[in-house]
Amino acid sequence: MAAQRPCNGGSWPDLPSELLGLVLLRLPSHGDRVRLRAVCRPWRSSARLERKLLPPPLPWLFLPDGAFLTLPDGAAHRRLAIPGDVAHLVPTGSGLLLAHNDGMFSLMNPSSSATTPLPDLAAVFHGEIKCKYPDTAFQLGQRRITPIIKAVVSEHFIAFYFNSSKVIITSGQPHTVVKWSPPDSSYILDIALFQGKLYCLTFDIKNCQEELYILEVRDEEPMVSDVKCIHSTPRDVGDEDEAWFNPHSTDRYTFHRYLVADGDRLLMVARWINLNLPPMLPRDSSIKRTRRFDVFEAVDLSSEHGRWIKVDTLMGHSLFVSESCSESLTAGAEEDCIYFMNDGITNRIPKDPLSDSGVYNMRDGMVAPLMPETAVTEHLAAHDGPWFSTWLFPTET
């Protein structure tokens, strides 16, 4: 019998770039993609070539102690090296805005922990925020509450909204400040960047209706050049502050709303939260339970007849919503699903930062766990700390 000839196949480092791209497409986790690139230099070069063809990686779930969990496995990873002099922390999508005790600001890249000083922001927030902690900042247990609820970063400006009462927009070098507030009877629910404009969702207490303001910021000079407002109350959504009562049911609900840019659509996501407490919980528990979501699209925004229409599909996309950071993903996550987490300072259970989190399926109305039960029981109790949980959306580097 003739001797068997050795295999002449190439080695693993010689894997064609196209095949490596197919492997990367099946790795929705940012960490897994980073580990693949680290195997060898040829793979790192090939991965760089394929990077533009990949969908964005799944987000990280930032935990109160600065560590983060990855989806979908729920694995806990390193704590971010947040400097000890940080008084407040605000997510910006792919980064973290840090407010330091001395009044200075910096931007952290969660992937590398590198920070970039933002010296001009100190003047922007002069008189708006007191950074020294803990003497002049609020505390809830150990959590640090910042008046900056959300930060939105565009190519031309950065927008912040404060305590549901005002939007601060900074543009240019050196930074110049523009401030905008809704009418006296309204307060801010959320802001979002959509097609180059800043959108602000408010609630009018007097008329019990949502209002969508369109703030167009000029490039030439830092000013709000055009403000339009859509007065419309989507069906099935109740008052923000008052619990919604159904006379035929013992359930009581309140609502959270989020603005999310989803491709060429601007969506308002309404979250129904049941205020009833299970009998086994103490009456002073602040736990709430999300029951369902309704999604509305803003249409005819360029005309005087803008309105909301209810939609039943996310077109195969997925949404990740939270008070401080919401995004849409086109691939990698469960299609037509809304990923949500514990929201708001009154919803804190110290040993369970995911007490009201999950994945809501738009197709069947069911809520599934956000991550495996083993991840919750084994990891989360050890990650209590001063920050609030939020989504982080790492970028490919």
Q: What is the pLDDT of residues 225-237, one digit of tens each?
A: 666 777 665 545 4
pLDDT at 135 (0 to 100): 40
Q: How confident is the model at residue 243 (pLDDT cuts 50, 70, 90)?
A: very low
Kindly indicate the confidence band of residue 17, based on its pLDDT and cuts at 50, 70 and 90: confident
User: 320 falls in which pLDDT band (50, 70, 90)?
Assistant: very high
Higher pLDDT, 387 or 106: 106
DSSP alpha helices (H): ranges in 136-257? none
Strand partners, 166: 162
Q: Which helix (H) or strand (E) holds 292?
A: strand 289-299
In angstroms, rounded to a whole number, what is the distance separating the alpha carbons of residues 329 and 338? Answer: 10
Asked if residue 217 lies in contact with residue 156, where contact means CB atoms within 8 angstroms, the answer is yes
Residue pLDDT, tens place only, 33-87: 888 888 888 888 888 888 878 888 899 888 888 888 888 777 777 778 888 888 8
What pLDDT does residue 296 have? 94
Residues 272-294 as b or e (16 or more Cβ within 10 Å = b): bbbeeeeeeeeeeeebbebebbb
Q: What is the pLDDT of residue 126?
A: 66
Mean pLDDT of 175-200: 88
Give 346's pLDDT tier (boundaries 50, 70, 90): very low
Q: Are 390 and 327 in contact (CB under 8 A)?
A: no
The answer to whether residue 180 scores a pLDDT higher than 70 is: yes
* 242, pLDDT greater than 70: no
Predicted local distance difference test score (pLDDT) of residue 143: 58
Which range has highest mean pLDDT (14-28, 63-77, 187-201)?
187-201
Q: What is the average per-residue pLDDT within 315-339? A: 91
Does position 247 have pLDDT exceeding 50, yes or no? Answer: no
Q: What is the mean pLDDT of residues 132-151?
A: 58
Is the pLDDT assigned to residue 194 strictly greater than 90?
A: yes
Looking at per-residue pLDDT, the higher value among 208 and 288 belongs to 208
Q: With beta carbons less than 8 A apart as the criterion, state whether 187 and 161 touch.
A: no
pLDDT surpassing 90 at residue 192: yes
Report pLDDT for 283. Answer: 41
User: Do 92 and 109 touch, CB atoms closer than 8 A?
Assistant: no
Task: Report DSSP state, residue 8.
Answer: -
**pTM (two decimals):** 0.84
Please give the mean pLDDT across all residues of the chain. Answer: 78
pLDDT in tens, 250-304: 567 788 899 999 999 999 999 998 877 554 454 444 455 788 999 999 998 887 7
Say if residues 330 and 337 touch (Cβ distance below 8 Å): no
* Confidence bin at 154 (pLDDT 50/70/90): confident
Name the strand (E) or helix (H) holding 264.
none
Provide the pLDDT for residue 137.
43
Asked which of 87-101, 165-179, 228-242, 339-353 is least confident by mean pLDDT, the reply is 228-242
The per-residue pLDDT for 327 is 95
pLDDT of residue 6: 45
d(CA 309, CA 224): 27
Percent of the chain exceeding pLDDT 90 equals 19
Residue 306 has pLDDT above 70, yes or no: yes
Residues whose CB falls within 8 Å of the CB of residue 280, separated by 6 or more in sequence, listed in order? none
Three-class secondary structure of residue 68 per DSSP: strand
Q: Residue range 179-206: average pLDDT?
A: 90
Closest CA to 106 of 126, 82, 128, 130: 82
Segment 178-186 mean pLDDT = 87
How sure is the predictor about 316, in pLDDT bands with cuts at 50, 70 and 90? very high
